[in-house]
């Protein structure tokens, strides 16, 4: 089968993976969202080797996902804080986490619950369309050439799902307009 040229364009997913496509990096980011900031704290929580941790943190700083800031002068000590670029990775971490909760929750259920401070409820994250507010379904999304593509041919969308047992019913959201 020949794939159209659109499929051979540099993919944004590949670009993302060049920054965060590493297990340690994703676990470090999860801890950043839990307010962990200092080298020794990351090291203690993750049980990660110090050279590997230093390498991953530096890479995140180099990519402006984290900012290295001094918090003490004598001796000089630094901590790592999420930048806005880093904070915008929250949907990635949350969607991975909640997929694990849904399909591999452990014998007693998920280890964590997420409470939305604004509304006071425990929740699951739901991904919606920015334009109409409906929950996204991969079968209802067409991928088209963007300004950075060389070829304008549309790509096929995914087929209807297989008839497999659904492990948990998903709520269908639709914003009222």
Which residues between 99 and 118 bind its own copies (CB under 8 A)?
Answer: 99-118
* Coil/strand/helix, residue 69: strand
Q: Compute the C-alpha angle 111/115/119, nearest 5°.
A: 160
CB of 18 to its own copies, least distance (A): 8
Task: State how far the Cα of 7 lies from the Cα of 143, in Å rounded to an integer.
Answer: 10
* Coil/strand/helix, residue 6: helix
- Residue 75 vs 138, nearer CB to its own copies: 138
Which residues between 7 and 36 bind its own copies (CB under 8 A)?
Answer: 7-17, 19-21, 23, 26-27, 30, 32-35
Number of residues that bind its own copies (CB under 8 A): 111
- Residue 76 vs 132, nearer CB to its own copies: 132
Question: Do 64 and 78 meet the contact criterion of CB atoms below 8 Å apart?
Answer: no
Residue 76, interface with its own copies (CB under 8 A)? no
Among 50, 68, 153, 173, binds its own copies (CB under 8 A): 173
CB of 51 to its own copies, least distance (A): 20
Provide the terminal-to-terminal Cα distance of the chain, rounded to the nearest Å.
43
Nearest Cα neighbor of 158 from 144, 142, 146 is 142
Residue 66 CB neighbour total at 10 angstroms: 24
CB of 152 to its own copies, least distance (A): 11
Which residues between 32 and 71 bind its own copies (CB under 8 A)?
Answer: 32-35, 38, 41, 44-45, 67
């Amino acid at each position: 089968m020949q794939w159209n040229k659109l499929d051979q364009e540099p993919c944004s997913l590949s670009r993302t993976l060049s920054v965060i496509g590493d297990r340690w990096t994703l676990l470090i980011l999860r801890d950043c969202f839990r307010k962990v900031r200092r080298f020794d704290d990351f090291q203690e929580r993750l049980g990660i080797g110090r050279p590997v941790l230093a390498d991953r943190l530096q890479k995140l700083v180099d990519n402006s996902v984290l900012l290295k800031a001094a918090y003490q002068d004598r001796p000089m000590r630094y901590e790592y804080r999420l930048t806005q670029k880093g904070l915008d990775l929250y949907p990635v971490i949350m969607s991975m986490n909640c997929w694990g909760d849904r399909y591999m929750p452990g014998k007693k259920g998920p280890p964590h619950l997420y409470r939305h401070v604004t509304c006071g409820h425990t929740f699951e994250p739901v991904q919606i369309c920015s334009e109409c507010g409906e929950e996204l379904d991969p079968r209802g999304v067409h991928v088209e050439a963007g300004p950075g593509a060389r070829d304008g041919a549309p790509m096929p969308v995914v087929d209807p799902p297989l008839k497999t047992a659904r492990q948990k019913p998903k709520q269908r959201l639709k914003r009222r307009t």
